[in-house]
Structure 1
């Protein structure tokens, strides 16, 4: 028996994909969201809004331990770093968060369908060629790509349906984990300016771990950089006095 599973990240592409699939009457057995514990607060509100809109339950899966625990407290059990506490900040070489908080969780969950053929639906747009080429696993479909829907079209479709993420996409290109070191400096600056409570959390974590937030900047260094840029703009009278 086939099981049709929608992988729902909550972002613009997976949201557009889900709503379009429902509109087209495509069979959906389950809708699954993987909660890392580091999602934007507005993302949790978005998920509830989508649930109410489609009148269906979105299954929220979580690893045994969330991002903060794995980053700061998890004790490594083997290897040269045995006994070391936490994986620290992820980077391009070690994206442990994707493996432990997403891939392993969904893999474990889907084992209950071991006697069924699982077809997963992922929200990757037609113009995300690189991601499509990297994701050629068996039994994964990409409806947006099949329908030639671009990222821009997917976002506008969601806006037309009334989904705004409280402005997240006006500030960020990607709205996955808010604490990701792989964000651009532009996005990190917006996080610093507009989400001070999250930035405070970054500072707290950065003070407790052993690896630099980025190869070029710690959170403390970024704070100093962004504050200096803001002061410079004030001095040039390009910003109103606050």
Structure 2
């Protein structure tokens, strides 16, 4: 028996989940020839940015292997109804559980699996999603090989794929209405995808009996968030002008969102 075979003789599966973000994409490129038996999957929430879906298609072409799409029949709206139309929040992340974690473990089943996680060597406080199932083992190639953020950018650029276009105005992958977005990122959504911004607004509601507002952000409704972002836009633009894209990764705050790490890698 070798390392890629279980005691039953069944091959060990090697899995890499893609989010459409810079780190998981770079890891797929990095491991393409190192782990040729790799299986790739993408948990589509039904609320992805167009840029994300386009990038996944490009990555699939580059890898020369199918990226399995999960959640083909049950998207965000399906689970929203199951949760009585209550929006997810940092404290109630049912979206991550139902649209990312559960589909992953269903995809694995009872098979023996090695799951590859795109945590970098310069991220000492991040652990990623580590399943409690004994048949799922995790590996951190970037940590093991000492690759940091600049290395990841170099991998993407040298591959010819470059960075997903949403990094021009947003610091993370994930749903277009992700509640971890900063005020300026909501503004970026309205400017780049006004149709999606309007759809995000339609999810917000006020309970007619209690007057309680259910919004994407505790700071207020999206219209209020946009007003705040617009008021500070000139200052923010000035501060970020010199480091809008690649250099801006030095200031991204998705590294603090470990609970949704499977979404943002």
Say yes or no: TM over 0.5: yes
Q: TM-score range by the shorter chain?
A: 0.7 to 0.9
Q: Shift of residue 134 of structure 1?
A: 7.0
C-alpha distance in structure 2 between counterparts of 1:152 and 1:168, whole Å = 18
Contact 2:156 2:163 in 1 (8 A): no
Counterpart residue number, 2:191: 193
Q: Do the aligned partners of residues 133 and 57 (structure 1) sit closer, same or farther apart at CA in structure 2, a change above 3 Å counting?
A: closer
Counterpart mapping for 1:57-206 below 5 A? 57-62=66-71, 64-71=73-80, 73-74=81-82, 76=83, 85-88=84-87, 90-111=88-109, 114=110, 116-132=111-127, 135=130, 139-165=137-163, 167-206=165-204
The separation in 2 between residues aligned to 1:136 and 1:104, in whole angstroms, is 10
Give the distance between the partners of 2:181 and 2:61, measured in 1 at CA.
31
Unaligned runs of 5+ in 2: 1-10, 208-212, 236-265
Q: TM-score, normalised by structure 1?
A: 0.79
Structure-2 change in CA distance of 1:17 and 1:230 (3 Å): closer
- Cα distance 1:145–1:118, how it changes in 2: closer, same or farther (>3 A)? same
> 1:20 corresponds to which residue?
30
Instruction: Report if aligned partners of 1:9, 1:33 keep a CA contact under 8 Å in 2.
Output: yes
- Using structure 2 for the length normalisation, give the TM-score: 0.73
Is 1:49–2:49 an aligned residue pair?
no
Structure 2 CA distance for aligned equivalents of residues 171 and 45 of structure 1: 17
Q: Is the 8 A contact 2:20 2:164 kept in 1?
A: no
Paired residues of 1:34 and 1:102 also in contact (CA < 8 A): yes
Question: 1:120 Cα deviation (Å)?
Answer: 0.7
Residue 29 of structure 2 aligns to a residue whose secondary structure is helix
Alpha-carbon spacing, 1:183–1:100, altered in 2? closer, same or farther (3 Å) = same
Whether the 8 Å contact between 1:12 and 1:155 is mirrored in structure 2 is yes
Counterpart secondary structure, 1:43: helix
Residue in 2 that maps onto 1:224: 227
Structure 1 residues 40 and 125, CA gap change in structure 2 (3 angstroms): same
1:231 to 1:131, Cα distance in 2 relative to 1, 3 A: closer
Per the alignment, residue 237 of structure 1 pairs with none
Contact 1:8–1:122 at 8 Å: present in 2 too? no
How many residue pairs match? The answer is 218
Q: CA RMSD in A?
A: 2.6
- CA positional deviation for 1:118: 0.9
> What residue number does 1:212 align with?
215
**Matches of 1:12 and 1:131 in 2, distance apart?**
16
